[in-house]
Structure 1
């Protein structure tokens, strides 16, 4: 009787032990399977091919773009492009004291159309050497013999360009435009009067700035001097505070 009970107890313990071993074995298999799946998932996620095949939803909302205002994406200005292609028949010569222009041929032999207009457009440049080439080229071209006959027919196209320079927010651009206007007035004289009203608005606005009061007043006096009595009427209509040189 005792042997039977003992034998039954042994069988029960073996059965329990076997069940326990099976549970441990099953648990180990599940753990190994889970670890393998995680490893597989991790490797597939880190794979470049997998990343390319499954783009993130945010990629559609944030596409890669080039900054349109970046320095490299900025197209050169019209004057800079023309100058770089040799469209301006002069080059800057750097001197130890000051710079100068070297013309490919005598300026008096050059056609003013479209060279004078192109140089006037360059007055709005803000980078070297374009700033110097445009202002000096404009000045030297107007000094040649017969400049008036060549410049007067171009006034309807020159005035909008000078107006843009005078309305520019950059102070140096404005000063170059103001000097160019005076230089043009010296050459064309009263022929400028018909276009003068289009330029005086910008001068009137700049007069509010104390640092420009003197140079603008001086420019207006020269416009009156070379434009005659007709220019005075136009100037006074736009700038009532202007005092004539005849006073």
Structure 2
């Protein structure tokens, strides 16, 4: 091959060009950008997401429609919308399930469990419906009271007072098993006032017998009648 032919072949050979780096304009708008609304409105759990469906027993029941109410988001506060009147709903097993749900730490389960538990105990026949399942409800409340999360403990404490207001002295049989965690939290300044107030209400609703039970676990407790 002549020199002129070799030169011609070299001149016609395609030259490789490196791909240009993507410009800033090629990046989708808003990618990696945190909007102010993201901070004001944090994402909540999708109860129907596969990864969350089996996260807890309560979450699974809620996702499958086992809790006959749904959370309604309001501009100021949230509320529950019941599929039928709470007065028409059997407490067994719903009240037990809601008590177990007090151990939840994520929205919407935290709100549904505590609000549902409270509203169910507000129906006129709550005492008659709660008494047959009281041992199971008390056991579920204990799970919240011994929980390491402070918010869970406070929801359990509120639930305990609400239950005591409904069933009265009938709760005294289970009170001793529930007071151990209250005694421990009483030593924490953060919970001292809340626990003290709860103990006073337990004495008020539980009658004279409850005072001896409370003092057996918390000797420093002062009666509301002293």
- TM-score band (shorter)? 0.7 to 0.9
- 1:199 corresponds to: 178
- 1:232 corresponds to: 211
- Pick one of 159, 167, 192 that aligns with 1:213: 192
> What TM-score do you get using the length of structure 1 for normalisation?
0.70
* Offset of residue 84 of structure 1: 0.3
Which structure has more relative contact order (CA 8 Å, sep 6+)? It is 2
Residue 243 in structure 1 maps to residue 222 in structure 2: yes
- 1:34 corresponds to: none
- 1:124 corresponds to: 103
- Where 2:84 maps in the other structure, the secondary structure is coil
More helix by share: 1
Larger Rg: 1
Distance 2:52 2:173 in 1: 41
Distance 1:177 1:101 in 2: 19
Distance 2:207 2:137 in 1: 21
- Where 2:74 maps in the other structure, the secondary structure is coil
Cα displacement string for residues 70-94 of structure 1 (whole angstroms, at most 9, x for unaligned residues): x959932000000000000000000
Cα displacement string for residues 20-51 of structure 1 (whole angstroms, at most 9, x for unaligned residues): xxxxxxxxxxxxxxxxxxxxxxxxxxxxxxxx
Structure 1 segment 1-247 matched on structure 2, within 5 A: 75-247=54-226
- Where 1:102 maps in the other structure, the secondary structure is strand
Distance 2:189 2:181 in 1: 15
Moved over 2 A (4+): 71-75
Gaps of at least 5 residues in structure 1 are: 1-70
Distance 2:54 2:153 in 1: 23
Distance 2:202 2:194 in 1: 12
Distance 1:75 1:116 in 2: 21
Distance 2:161 2:86 in 1: 20
- Where 2:132 maps in the other structure, the secondary structure is helix
Distance 1:105 1:223 in 2: 31
Gaps of at least 5 residues in structure 2 are: 1-49
Task: Provide the aligned length of Structure 1 versus Structure 2.
Answer: 177
Change (3 A) 1:221 1:90: same
* Offset of residue 179 of structure 1: 0.1
